[in-house]
Amino acid sequence: VIPYGGGTSVVGHITPSKSDAPVLTLSLEKMTRLLDLDETSRLATFQAGVAGPQLEEQLKARGYTLGHFPQSFEYSTLGGWIVTRSSGQQSYRYGKIESLFAGGIMETPRGRLEMKPVPASAAGPDVREMALGSEGRLGVVTQAQVRVRRAPEAESFFGVFFHSWEQGSDAVREIVQNEIPVSMLRLSNPLETETTLILSGKSWLGMADRGLRMIGYGDTRCLLMFGVTGSARLFKRTRREAAALCRKFGGLFVGTIVGHTWEKNRFLAPYLRNTLWERGVAIDTLETALPWSQVREASVAIPKSIVDAAAKHNERVLAFSHLSHVYRDGASVYTTYLFRRTGDPDELLARWGTMKHDASLTIQRFGGTITHQHGVGMDHAPYLPAEKGALGMDAIRAVCKSFDPDGMMNPGKLF
């Protein structure tokens, strides 16, 4: 049985594994309703098949927001977010789905599991945390309580150019470790910065480029996008504080011009995949999260490992990274790579396999997690034992077996 939400997995969560057993795909597409909104507790109960826009619309009508905006927002569902430990673009403000998911119902082969929504608990190991990231192996999350907030009074996204990756990442780290309440921090490395500027296709770009170079923001420049979200009062103050801190690290505050473009296109990158594919170019992304002490080196080494892997096939690849989600103790490094499509699909798959594998080993070498937000599925399953350890894997298997003794739920995912 493969539970199906929005079908947006990029790591093989919903692909049947090779087997002679019959496969049943269970779609939750009709389970989209807001069942209850407890305004006092700011807890909303949804059916788990609700997709991002349906969820936010139902909340918006009551003046609330969940604030969970992954790039897959248009199609991905609440249930999918929970079982893959999803992150929204503004998780710095709203939290990963782990902190938004308060409780709910999971239907398992052995019956129903109810997880009561309590704000916090010391009552032993947290069963809710077993459902999070379970990727359909324990059962189907059918209903979930989520922690919502009042819709914000104000929100904008601002751009800042830095002279270098070092200065940019130091600035981002300072903002987080000083707990300045921005809602998003996203820092592109030099190559991604150039690609972003070119892809934006703005007519004023040539002039802006020359201007930036004249004042010293040249080939090594990095673009930071930061978001500010909240009450009008908080908004002004936070923008000022974040901008001031960026200036300390040589940052050039360029207001909302670049931010507006990003905001307009924030869910469109996945479509680019198809457009590029038709034009003969394949695109993939991979991501990790690691402590700050590893971030700077790893964010160079990961794209480099992809370039080196492609070279083994005598191919060139365009690989660039950004810091996509930041924490006091570290950040996620998100890498995009584009490579030529070959006529032979097996050859293309082999080439992709080499790049993905070498990048994954590089991530592990730096102590990063194999995935910060995409989940494990089939693609990352081979790398999980190194991360969890043999005992950790046994414990995960034991939990799966406890809910699903016959192993009928989404086999081949996670392990």
Pick out residues in 130-149 that bind a copy of itself (CB under 8 A).
130, 132-135, 147, 149
Pick out residues in 223-242 that bind a copy of itself (CB under 8 A).
230-231
Quick one: the chain helix, strand, coil %, rounded to 5? 40, 25, 35
356 near a copy of itself, rule: CB under 8 A: no
- Report CA 320 to chain centroid distance, whole Å: 16
Residue 181 corresponds to which tokens in the numbers above? 């309440």
Nearer to a copy of itself, 258 or 370 (CB): 370
Separation in Å, CA 8 to CA 76, 252, 270, 272, 374: 6, 36, 9, 14, 10
Residue of the chain from 76, 86, 167, 362 that contacts a copy of itself (CB under 8 A): 86
121 near a copy of itself, rule: CB under 8 A: yes
Residue of the chain from 49, 251, 368, 411 that contacts a copy of itself (CB under 8 A): 368
Asked if 102 and 117 touch (Cβ cutoff 8 Å), the reply is: yes
Separation in Å, CA 143 to CA 28, 33, 57, 101, 104: 11, 10, 18, 11, 5
**Buried b / exposed e along 299-322 (16+ C-beta atoms within 10 A):** bebbbebbbbbbeebeeebbbbbb
380 near a copy of itself, rule: CB under 8 A: yes
245 near a copy of itself, rule: CB under 8 A: no
Nearer to a copy of itself, 192 or 404 (CB): 404
| Number of residues that make up the chain | 415
- Whole-angstrom distance, CA of residue 181 vs CA of residue 171: 14
108 near a copy of itself, rule: CB under 8 A: yes
Asked if 324 and 71 touch (Cβ cutoff 8 Å), the reply is: no
Among the residue ranges 54-62, 105-113, 221-229, 274-282, the one whose residues contact a copy of itself (CB under 8 A):
105-113
Residue of the chain from 113, 141, 184, 306 that contacts a copy of itself (CB under 8 A): 113
378 near a copy of itself, rule: CB under 8 A: no
Pick out residues in 283-312 that bind a copy of itself (CB under 8 A).
289-294
Residue of the chain from 25, 27, 60, 110 that contacts a copy of itself (CB under 8 A): 110
Residue of the chain from 68, 173, 221, 322 that contacts a copy of itself (CB under 8 A): 173
392 near a copy of itself, rule: CB under 8 A: yes
214 near a copy of itself, rule: CB under 8 A: no
Angle separating helix axes 190-200 and 205-214, nearest 10 degrees: 150
406 near a copy of itself, rule: CB under 8 A: no
Going by C-beta distance under 8 Å and a sequence separation of 6 or more, which residues neighbour residue 263?
A: 157
Residue 19 corresponds to which tokens in the numbers above? 């087997």
41 near a copy of itself, rule: CB under 8 A: yes
Residue of the chain from 143, 196, 332, 360 that contacts a copy of itself (CB under 8 A): 332
68 near a copy of itself, rule: CB under 8 A: no
Nearer to a copy of itself, 281 or 300 (CB): 300
Nearest-approach distance from CB 387 to a copy of itself, in angstroms: 6
